[in-house]
Chain A
Amino acid sequence: MSETSSTPPTKHVSAPPPRMSSPSWFAWLILLGFGFLLFQGVQTAEISAERLWRGMNNLVIFLAQAVPPDWSDLDVIASAMLETLYMAVVGVTAGIILSLPFALLASRNTSPYPVVRVVARFMIATMRTIPDLIWALIFVVAVGLGPLAGILAIVLDTIGFAARFFSERIEEVRPGPSQALTASGAGRISVIFGAILPETLASMAATSLYSVEKAIRSAVTLGLVGAGGIGVELSTSMRLFQYDKAFAIILIVLVAVIGFEQISSAIRKRVI
């Protein structure tokens, strides 16, 4: 045995911190609350082996009826899918254009007055917090059934999402260049467009592309509440138990969404 290992550990002036520390009362409270909700949740779902078994059987019956998919109405499905894409493109374009002023008003370094900033932030948060399906329900009441309701829902959903990310990026821009232009006597608007926005373009392009993907996914479901697009066809054929037609629609949706995500991520790679 070497001499060093046999010597007792050196006495330190101050002891090291304890190996474990008890969580705070706040952490205990959160844990307790979470545990309660989890337990109640499982109870409410009424999970039983018998129900799961029955569900599995129904699923097999659905699949048996759905395969092979019924392509006889392909022209109707295709035009509905096209309508969905139009809704997404129009909605997201309007949404992105409107996001920019919202983001500028909501960012610390570009907002003219603190009050404006608070109001803009609140509006953006509202648009984001209310889900797109609920916006669609509201707009169906306002403008009637059809794609316009869906487009409006996508516009608001896009602003809620994109304006927030734009604004976060705008606040991250380093202050130096704006300061330099201000110091040379440039006006506020010129500084925003000359020094702040050019630094954020790449990130905004990426956010916009992601918004397009998001809009296409939500455009598909908006039809379920009658706001236009392929969702209308899907919900009709499900209700009429035409599972084979529904399956064809689902496959088309799958191909379109995956295809679009591929294109969008390819563009994003080139931008960044």
Chain B
Amino acid sequence: MSDLSVIGLHKYYGKLHVLRGLDLHIKSGEGVVLLGANGCGKSTLMRCMNGLETVQAGDISIGDQVVTQTGGRALRHLRRRVGVVFQQFNLVENLSVLQNVLYGAMGRYPGGILRVWASIAPTELRSKAMDCLERVGMADNAGSRCRELSGGQQQRVAIARMLMQEPDVILADEPVASLDPKAGREVMDLLWEVVRERRLTVFCTLHQLELATAYADRIVGMKAGEIVLDSKTEAADSEHLADLYRGNTRVDAQPATAMDDTPKNGITAHDLEAS
């Protein structure tokens, strides 16, 4: 089972209260898009989901495993089941496309890097990586270095790496925010196709309302560290969606100076987004 659930989640950076009591449940196989303005805590929530950040209160669980209470080996075991797609693709640019895809399988084997290094990896692993590349239409570029690829191509390779991982749940943090509209559409199409094929659970943050309504089963909206909207895509009306970007949206804005962008505690909303 790969239900995703968040119960009473609170997260602080120092004194800054970033996530202010979140409750969310995503059913296995559901595609949920998370919307919200810059600095509302979206990325922080994503990072908490696979244990890259510790939380101060509340629980996150994937299937029957509680992310917030595991650590060490068990957490690594859990992370294997969660594929992540990043805004900046996060490929190792100096290495070949095939090597980057093979890295997707690294967590599965005890030998770690020795098992998936392209020159010594077992043949079946290499051919599986080629299958994944085939699926995203990048098999012809298997030998190129990642730095030679365009943004859209890099994100395709990142999706192939994610497929190689054989996850149950996918977290996608602004997967198309660094791409032009056309490449963004193509990547979203591809991502949703593979997700539907494998009946994976997806939790995806996006910036563009039109993309959200086009792909999501359900839309969740965040504003200033709280979930303020949660509805089926058909039922989400544009007025409510537009409201997500109005007024006091940031977690670091103080009530008295709601429109002020000055950082507090040395952490700016930009840091939260970028991290």
Residue pair A185, B94 in contact (C-beta under 8 Å): no
Residue pair A177, B83 in contact (C-beta under 8 Å): no
Q: From known contacts A186-B106, A194-B103, infer whether A180 and B86 are also in contact, taking CB-CB under 8 Å.
A: yes
Q: Bound complex: CA of A53 vs CA of B194, how far in Å? A: 86
Q: Bound complex: CA of A22 vs CA of B165, how far in Å? A: 63
B209 interfacial by beta-carbon distance below 8 Å: no
Q: How many residues on B have C-beta within 8 angstroms of the other chain's C-beta atoms? A: 29
B112 interfacial by beta-carbon distance below 8 Å: yes
* B29 shortest CB reach to chain A, Å: 21
A252 interfacial by beta-carbon distance below 8 Å: no
Q: Which of A87-95, A101-109, A195-203 contacts B (4 or more CB under 8 A)?
A: A195-203
Per-residue A-contact encoding for B59-83, CB less than 8 Å = 1, 0 else = 0000000000000000011111011
Q: How many residues on A have C-beta within 8 angstroms of the other chain's C-beta atoms? A: 20
Within 8 A of B (CB), among A167-217: 176-177, 179-187, 189-190, 193-195, 198-199, 201-202
B interface residues with partner A (beta carbon < 8 Å): 50, 52, 76-80, 82-84, 86, 88-95, 103-104, 106-108, 112-113, 158, 161, 165
Residue pair A176, B88 in contact (C-beta under 8 Å): yes
Residue pair A184, B52 in contact (C-beta under 8 Å): no
Q: From known contacts A179-B52, A194-B113, A198-B95, infer whether A184 and B90 are also in contact, taking CB-CB under 8 Å.
A: no
On chain B, the residues within 8 Å of A180 by CB distance are 84, 86, 90-91, 158, 161
On chain B, the residues within 8 Å of A199 by CB distance are 92-94
On chain B, the residues within 8 Å of A177 by CB distance are 90-93
Residue pair B86, A181 in contact (C-beta under 8 Å): no
Residue pair B80, A179 in contact (C-beta under 8 Å): no
Q: From known contacts A176-B88, A179-B52, A198-B92, infer whether A184 and B104 are also in contact, taking CB-CB under 8 Å.
A: yes
* B239 shortest CB reach to chain A, Å: 36
Q: Bound complex: CA of A201 vs CA of B145, how far in Å? A: 14
On chain A, the residues within 8 Å of B79 by CB distance are 182-185
Partner of B106, one of A179, A190, A198, A201: A190
Residue pair A194, B90 in contact (C-beta under 8 Å): no
Name B's interface SS: mixed
Q: Which residue of A lies closest to B91 (CB)?
A: A177
Q: Bound complex: CA of A193 vs CA of B116, how far in Å? A: 12
Residue pair B113, A185 in contact (C-beta under 8 Å): no
Q: Bound complex: CA of A193 vs CA of B80, how far in Å? A: 19
Residue pair A190, B112 in contact (C-beta under 8 Å): yes
Q: Could you give 20 example pairs across A and B, Cβ below 8 Å?
A: A176-B88, A176-B90, A177-B90, A177-B93, A180-B158, A182-B52, A182-B79, A183-B82, A184-B104, A185-B79, A185-B107, A186-B76, A186-B106, A186-B112, A187-B76, A194-B92, A194-B103, A195-B103, A199-B94, A201-B94
Q: Bound complex: CA of A201 vs CA of B158, how far in Å? A: 22
Q: Which residue of B lies closest to A195 (CB)?
A: B92
On chain B, the residues within 8 Å of A194 by CB distance are 92, 103, 106, 112-113
Residue pair A176, B86 in contact (C-beta under 8 Å): yes
On chain A, the residues within 8 Å of B92 by CB distance are 177, 194-195, 198-199
* B274 shortest CB reach to chain A, Å: 10
Q: Bound complex: CA of A228 vs CA of B84, how far in Å? A: 57
Residue pair A184, B165 in contact (C-beta under 8 Å): yes
Residue pair B50, A198 in contact (C-beta under 8 Å): no
Q: Which residue of A lies closest to B88 (CB)?
A: A176
On chain B, the residues within 8 Å of A193 by CB distance are 113
The 3 tightest CB contacts between A and B, nearest first, are A185-B107, A190-B112, A185-B80
Q: Bound complex: CA of A176 vs CA of B77, how far in Å? A: 20
On chain A, the residues within 8 Å of B90 by CB distance are 176-177, 179-180
Residue pair B88, A184 in contact (C-beta under 8 Å): no
On chain A, the residues within 8 Å of B104 by CB distance are 184
Q: Which residue of B lies closest to A192 (CB)?
A: B113
On chain A, the residues within 8 Å of B106 by CB distance are 181, 184-186, 190, 194
Q: Bound complex: CA of A202 vs CA of B93, how far in Å? A: 13
* A112 shortest CB reach to chain B, Å: 14
Residue pair B77, A186 in contact (C-beta under 8 Å): no
On chain B, the residues within 8 Å of A176 by CB distance are 86, 88-90
On chain A, the residues within 8 Å of B89 by CB distance are 176
On chain B, the residues within 8 Å of A202 by CB distance are 94
* B195 shortest CB reach to chain A, Å: 17
On chain A, the residues within 8 Å of B108 by CB distance are 185
Residue pair A185, B95 in contact (C-beta under 8 Å): no
Residue pair B112, A183 in contact (C-beta under 8 Å): no
Q: Bound complex: CA of A199 vs CA of B146, how far in Å? A: 12
Q: Bound complex: CA of A186 vs CA of B84, how far in Å? A: 13
